[in-house]
Structure 1
Amino acid sequence: MTEPTSSTRHASGPADGMPALDIRAVSHAFGTRKALDDVSLTVPAGSFTALLGPNGAGKTTLFSLVTRLYDNRSGAIHVLGADVRRRPAEALSRLGVVFQARTLDLELSVLDNLLYHATLHGIGFGAGRRRAMELLAQDGLAERARDKVRNLSGGQMRRVEIVRALMHRPRLLLLDEPTVGLDIASRAAVVALVRALVADEGIGVLWATHIIEEIGPGDRVVVLHRGQIRASGSYEEMRARAGGEDLSTAFLQLVSDTGEAAA
């Protein structure tokens, strides 16, 4: 095993027992429109937590606050104990993110995309290349390392984005609608890859989605609608709210006051 850089050691070294993500009383507005209203949620370390909500619920806004694309002026956000406002470099070094929009450079090779990310996190070329090839091999993409990204399928691109997010060994992984636009087989492969990270490496995952079929027994579920948390709990607890019916029924009950359904 290669010796981790100072960046990767720092990213993986918070105290045991801390939640991967802790959000308390966060609100955010765009002008007069409130996108988030007093949102609080926790992602335990080593958990798969689904942030379930229809399009426009505020999921992307929340991710933008966690990753410092927007500044949270209310409440507090901690990534493994590090406050994203007061200790942004430390907090961001501990998380990896896959945004809904594709962000790979299509004209660069898979490997070059990963090495560029490694450089941004202070990982040297040799260590970065070893880490990239290790992750690509684990994901079955090592033979595509020299291929231009534009020659990959949509599912393969998304898997490379997940690999890129793991380059600096984060303990929290944020994924914003990661399977949008993928076919059924590719979607299943991406879901399986992320679940394996939780089971095998203990990474905390916040998976934002409007696709209820991606959520299963044992998952934690947070329902976000119109910028507010409507409910949170285990998959089994959420089903119990609907009298033992499926999660779709429970979700529709939680948002029925607006007459809207999931997208």
Structure 2
Amino acid sequence: MTVGESTEVPALEVEGLSFSYSGKPVLQEVGLRLEAGQFTVLLGPNGAGKTTLFSLITRLYDRRVGSIRVGGFELRRDAVAAHARMGVVFQQPTLDLDLTVRQNLTYHAALHGMGPREARRRAEEQLQRVGLGEALKTRVRQLSGGQRRRVEIARGLLHRPRLLLLDEPTVGLDIAARRDLVERVHRLCVDEGVAVLWATHLIDEVYPDDRVVVLDAGRVRASGSVSEVLASSGATSIGEAFDTLTRGPTEVAT
């Protein structure tokens, strides 16, 4: 977070967001709001529009109707300031497997204008936070899938963003690695005050104190705390609420 920047400004505000591809609506009047230190689960089945929403927030796509503000900065008018306040972990891995962990992170830091000394300091700091302080000189291809994801999270936090976006970050991980990653990112919200938008189709990645946005067929079907989503759907569990609000049951990892 920039020194002196107010924490009262939402980390992310999306209002009236609509997007069509080849004339077919993909997102329709989507709205959501994330405050500092808030872990929000974007819960939806495959094809719900989660990745499209992330692509619009990160400006990989730009043909849209509606407003996206990151840390109070409108994405189109103040793209540089908005992007400086977000970190991203995409669904597909983006690390260079032949570089060391430190090289991957310092290269990313250089793109954000950091000098070599500051880049190394922040790389070491963030790797300690995700439990990989001993892996600085390790080549990425030697790491497990869960460790690589943690490196990507450390990379996304190097420039101290207000908002961290994670698109299906546990895809391909075993149960233990998934649970470890979910727990670590929840702790980051508390320790760093960063707002997290975590996209998933797995209901066991939702914690009782999380905020939840249920997305289906490009529309927000429910939004609020877990208890609010349960009350609005008349359900007794988040899985039952999901089934009620969407077209079919979601997955629970076994």
TM-score bracket, shorter-length normalisation: over 0.9
RMSD of the alignment, in Å?
1.3
1-side partners of 2:158 and 2:114: how far apart? 9
Scaled by the length of structure 2, the TM-score of the pair is 0.95
2-side partners of 1:206 and 1:13: how far apart? 24
1:167 aligned to 139, 158, 178, which one?
158
Partner of 1:190: 181
- Check conservation: 1:72, 1:85, Cα contact below 8 A: no
Segment of structure 1 superposing worse, 232-241 or 196-205:
232-241
Post-superposition Cα deviations, 1:70-92, rounded to whole Å, max 9, x if no partner, equal: 11431100001001111000000
Partner of 1:127: 118
1:248 aligned to 228, 239, 251, which one?
239
Partner of 1:61: 52
Partner of 1:261: 249
Report SS of the residue matched to 1:137: helix
1:1-263 alignment runs, 5 A limit: 10=2, 14-243=5-234, 245-255=236-246, 258=247, 260-263=248-251
Post-superposition Cα deviations, 1:174-232, rounded to whole Å, max 9, x if no partner, equal: 00001111011111111111101111121111111100001011111000000001111
Report SS of the residue matched to 2:82: helix
Query: 1:143 Cα deviation (Å)?
Result: 1.5
**Superposition misfits of 4+ residues, deviation over 4 angstroms:** none
Report SS of the residue matched to 2:161: coil
Distance 1:13 1:107, change over 3 A: farther
Task: Give the AA of the match of 1:36.
Answer: L
2-side partners of 1:97 and 1:86: how far apart? 20
2-side partners of 1:64 and 1:50: how far apart? 17
1-side partners of 2:112 and 2:171: how far apart? 28
Post-superposition Cα deviations, 1:128-172, rounded to whole Å, max 9, x if no partner, equal: 001101111222212111111011000000000000000000010
Segment of structure 1 superposing worse, 191-200 or 90-99:
191-200
- Check conservation: 2:222, 2:232, Cα contact below 8 A: no
Query: 1:240 Cα deviation (Å)?
Result: 2.6
2-side partners of 1:54 and 1:127: how far apart? 41
Task: Give the AA of the match of 1:114.
Answer: L
Segment of structure 1 superposing worse, 243-252 or 221-230:
243-252
Of all paired residues, the percent bearing the same amino acid is 54
Report SS of the residue matched to 1:46: coil
2-side partners of 1:244 and 1:238: how far apart? 8
- Check conservation: 1:43, 1:204, Cα contact below 8 A: yes
2-side partners of 1:107 and 1:54: how far apart? 34
Report SS of the residue matched to 2:230: helix
Structure 2 unaligned segments of length 5 or more: list them.
none
Query: 1:244 Cα deviation (Å)?
Result: 5.2
- Check conservation: 1:27, 1:72, Cα contact below 8 A: no
Distance 1:210 1:129, change over 3 A: same
